[in-house]
Amino acid sequence: MKKYYLISLATGLIMLFILQLLSYINYLLLDQGVMNGLLDKTLLLKTPLIIIPLIFIAFSIVGLIIDYLHHQK
């Protein structure tokens, strides 16, 4: 069962990295004048899209803590 929590953690961190990467690419395109819009390096991290990776990360942390406490007995 521990494997699923680690996979969930990895998935959440990869999603978070991709979101940050897309946000920075958007910033570079705006900075170079290719697109018009709001110049912000962390624009996508301020949207509701951040909830999805956080759900994966929270599920894995809670699962790992429960698994750890279960094996303590």
Mean pLDDT by 10 residues, the chain (73 residues): 90 95 89 84 84 95 92 83
Amino acid at 33: G
CB 12 within 8 A of CB 60: yes
**pLDDT score for 33:** 86
Q: How high is the pLDDT of residue 44?
A: 78
What pLDDT, on a 0 to 100 scale, did the predictor assign at position 37? Answer: 81
Gap between the Cα atoms of 35 and 33, Å rounded: 5
pLDDT at 47: 86
Instruction: Give the span between the Cα atoms of 44 and 33, in whole angstroms.
Output: 19
